[in-house]
């Protein structure tokens, strides 16, 4: 198929795909900018997604109207990247990023598109006509499922090394191949990621991990030294084993980050955390990486919980109380992630992890126990510290906590015992100060 018509200015312009697919709030925004006498274009992922027949996820605009004037047009607006002339406008339904370019008419938007990262992202749709502007043959690359840098790839990665990671993000999300000229520039370009802010790396990395082609993308990152640059804690040999496991995990961020990090500090031998470092040392290294990416404390804690509680080999022989104990120890919210990670390792590393069938059984057993609403913590016991003090005659102090812990172990053995009357009788009998005196 002919990619598009050749416009008279030497750029592929003119094919109209309309703007009907643009949601009303974004159209209103474009209309208001247009009424000011400036040009306004739909750019970025929305045009790309539309041409691919997918529903756009977010909306980016480019305009010849200067940012200060864009800000005056809209009440709810934030200058997010004022250096690049980008402001974020909030509608009731979403945030839209609007980038201003200097210069008017065709030169302005052409200069804007030339600054964009890949040809498939350097497309613009005019408003209100909906005519496609495609000066870098992005449409042909979309059809060929190719990621190609706009202009000279080496120079472009040099200007902003994050583009290297964005390339892998699009590989993971779209399943595209990287064009050879661009790929060749990735290796020297990746080193520049050392200078990129952790939070920018985090945003792209998370999307890589959640993409439908995460393992393919991460394999390329490994081959090009990109993975080593952003995650030097992961040995190249270990990465070979952990990468396939990532794609086997369900697309939840916590478990996928854990899958990527579970090979850290194992010196090439994953599965058993006792490679070259003990589990604690390995988790410390993983934490160091997560802090570099400025992950939230909550996210770091979640991933650490998954990493710190690997399923023991005997998990498939657990009794019900042992299942409950594991849920208490690891946290009921994380046990399914832990099983999914073990199953993913089993699917990708022979002799490691957990067979899928056993994983399903464990998920079911966790679910059954969850439905029993057993006491996960001391606070879920049918009695509390005050009851213990009153019933035993003991003073307030650490011994009260110890008694509560013993009661908790008891109700983990048999949740039916978590009944106020039963526990109170038991406390009176076992822990009343007179009763204890008898056994001394």
- Contact positions toward Mg ion, by CB under 5 A? 44-45, 58, 60
> Is residue 117 involved in binding ligand ATP (CB under 6 A)?
yes
> Is residue 60 involved in binding ligand ATP (CB under 6 A)?
yes
Q: How many residues bind ligand ATP (CB under 6 A)?
A: 11
- Indicate the residue whose CB is closest to ligand ATP: 45
121 binds, among ligand ATP, Mg ion, none (CB under 5 to 8 A by kind): ligand ATP
Q: H helices of 350-419, where?
A: 356-371, 385-392, 398-413
Quote the least distance from Cβ 108 to ligand ATP, whole Å: 15
Per-residue x/- marks for ligand ATP, 144-163, CB under 6 A?
Answer: ----------------x-xx
Q: How far is CA 72 from the centre of its chain?
A: 35
* Nearer to ligand ATP among residue 170 and residue 431 (C-beta): 170
213 binds, among Mg ion, ligand ATP, none (CB under 5 to 8 A by kind): none
DSSP state at residue 4 = -
Quote the least distance from Cβ 125 to ligand ATP, whole Å: 13
Cα torsion 310, 314, 316, 322 to 10°: value is -80
Q: How many CB atoms lie within 10 A of CB 93?
A: 10
Quote the least distance from Cβ 178 to ligand ATP, whole Å: 15
> Is residue 141 involved in binding ligand ATP (CB under 6 A)?
no
> Is residue 124 involved in binding ligand ATP (CB under 6 A)?
no
DSSP state at residue 384 = -
Quote the least distance from Cβ 344 to Mg ion, whole Å: 30
As given in the structure block, the two tokens for residue 394 are: 């003991």
* Nearer to Mg ion among residue 58 and residue 180 (C-beta): 58
* Nearer to ligand ATP among residue 44 and residue 254 (C-beta): 44
Quote the least distance from Cβ 97 to Mg ion, whole Å: 7
Q: Which stretch binds ligand ATP (CB under 6 A): 55-63, 244-252, 268-276, 406-414?
A: 55-63
> Is residue 45 involved in binding ligand ATP (CB under 6 A)?
yes
Beta bridge partners of 86: 81, 99
Give yes or no for a contact between 60 and 46, defined as CB atoms under 8 angstroms apart: yes
Q: How many CA atoms, within 13 angstroms, populate the side-chain half-sphere of residue 72?
A: 6
* Nearer to Mg ion among residue 45 and residue 161 (C-beta): 45
Q: How many CB atoms lie within 10 A of CB 220?
A: 21
* Nearer to Mg ion among residue 174 and residue 347 (C-beta): 174
Quote the least distance from Cβ 59 to Mg ion, whole Å: 7
- CA–CA separation, 339 and 299 (whole Å): 18
- CA–CA separation, 126 and 260 (whole Å): 42
| DSSP-assigned letters across all residues of 62-95 | EESS-HHHHHHH-SSEEEEEGGGTEEEEE-SS-E
Give yes or no for a contact between 248 and 347, defined as CB atoms under 8 angstroms apart: yes
Give yes or no for a contact between 92 and 74, defined as CB atoms under 8 angstroms apart: no
* Nearer to ligand ATP among residue 60 and residue 235 (C-beta): 60
Residues 6+ apart with CB under 8 A from 377: 328, 408
Per-residue x/- marks for ligand ATP, 354-383, CB under 6 A?
Answer: ------------------------------
> Is residue 58 involved in binding ligand ATP (CB under 6 A)?
yes
- SS3 for 353? coil
117 binds, among ligand ATP, Mg ion, none (CB under 5 to 8 A by kind): ligand ATP
Quote the least distance from Cβ 130 to ligand ATP, whole Å: 18
Select from 223, 97, 115 the least CA-distant residue to 168: 223
> Is residue 320 involved in binding ligand ATP (CB under 6 A)?
no
Secondary structure of 125-138 in HEC code, one letter for each residue: EECCCCEEEECCCH
Residues 6+ apart with CB under 8 A from 192: 157, 158, 161, 164
Quote the least distance from Cβ 338 to ligand ATP, whole Å: 30
Interface residues with ligand ATP (CB under 6 A) are 44-45, 57-58, 60, 116-117, 121, 160, 162-163
């Amino acid at each position: 198929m002919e990619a598009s018509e050749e416009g008279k200015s030497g750029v592929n312009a003119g094919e109209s795909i309309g703007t009907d697919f643009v949601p009303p709030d974004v159209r209103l925004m474009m209309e208001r900018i247009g009424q000011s006498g400036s040009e306004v274009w739909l750019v970025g992922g929305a045009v790309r997604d539309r041409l691919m027949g997918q529903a756009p996820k977010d909306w980016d605009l480019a305009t010849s109207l200067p940012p200060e004037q864009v800000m005056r047009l809209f009440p709810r607006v934030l200058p997010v990247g004022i250096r690049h002339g980008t402001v974020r406008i909030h509608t009731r339904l979403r945030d839209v990023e609007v980038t201003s370019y200097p210069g008017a008419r065709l030169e302005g938007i052409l200069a804007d598109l030339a600054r964009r990262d890949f040809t498939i992202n350097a497309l613009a749709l005019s408003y209100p006509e909906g005519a496609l502007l495609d000066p870098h043959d992005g449409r042909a690359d979309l059809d060929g499922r190719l990621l190609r840098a706009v202009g000279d790839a080496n120079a472009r990665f040099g200007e902003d090394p994050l583009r290297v990671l964005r390339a892998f993000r699009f590989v993971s999300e779209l399943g595209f191949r990287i064009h050879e000229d661009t790929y060749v520039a990735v290796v020297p370009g990746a080193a520049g990621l050392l200078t990129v802010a952790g939070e920018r790396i985090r945003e792209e990395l998370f999307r890589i991990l959640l993409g439908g082609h995460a393992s393919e993308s991460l394999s390329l990152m490994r081959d090009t030294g990109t993975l080593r640059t952003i995650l030097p804690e992961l040995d190249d040999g270990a990465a070979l084993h952990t990468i396939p496991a990532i794609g086997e995990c369900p697309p939840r961020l916590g478990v996928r980050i854990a899958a990527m990090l579970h090979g850290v500090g194992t010196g090439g031998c994953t599965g058993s955390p006792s490679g070259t470092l003990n589990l604690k040392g390995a988790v410390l290294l993983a934490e160091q990486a997560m802090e570099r990416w400025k992950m939230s404390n909550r996210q770091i804690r979640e991933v650490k919980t998954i990493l710190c509680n690997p399923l023991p080999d005997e998990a498939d022989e657990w009794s019900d109380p042992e299942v409950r104990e594991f849920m208490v120890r690891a946290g009921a919210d994380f046990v399914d992630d832990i099983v999914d990670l073990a199953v993913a390792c089993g699917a990708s590393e022979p002799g490691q992890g957990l067979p899928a069938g056993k994983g399903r059984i464990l998920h079911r057993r966790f679910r059954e126990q969850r439905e029993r609403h057993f006491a996960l913590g001391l606070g879920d016991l049918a009695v509390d510290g005050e009851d213990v003090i009153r019933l035993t005659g003991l003073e307030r102090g650490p011994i009260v906590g110890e008694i509560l812990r013993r009661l908790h172990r008891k109700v983990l053995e048999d949740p039916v015992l978590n009944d106020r009357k039963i526990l109170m009788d038991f406390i009176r009998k076992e822990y009343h100060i007179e009763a204890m005196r008898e056994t001394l």
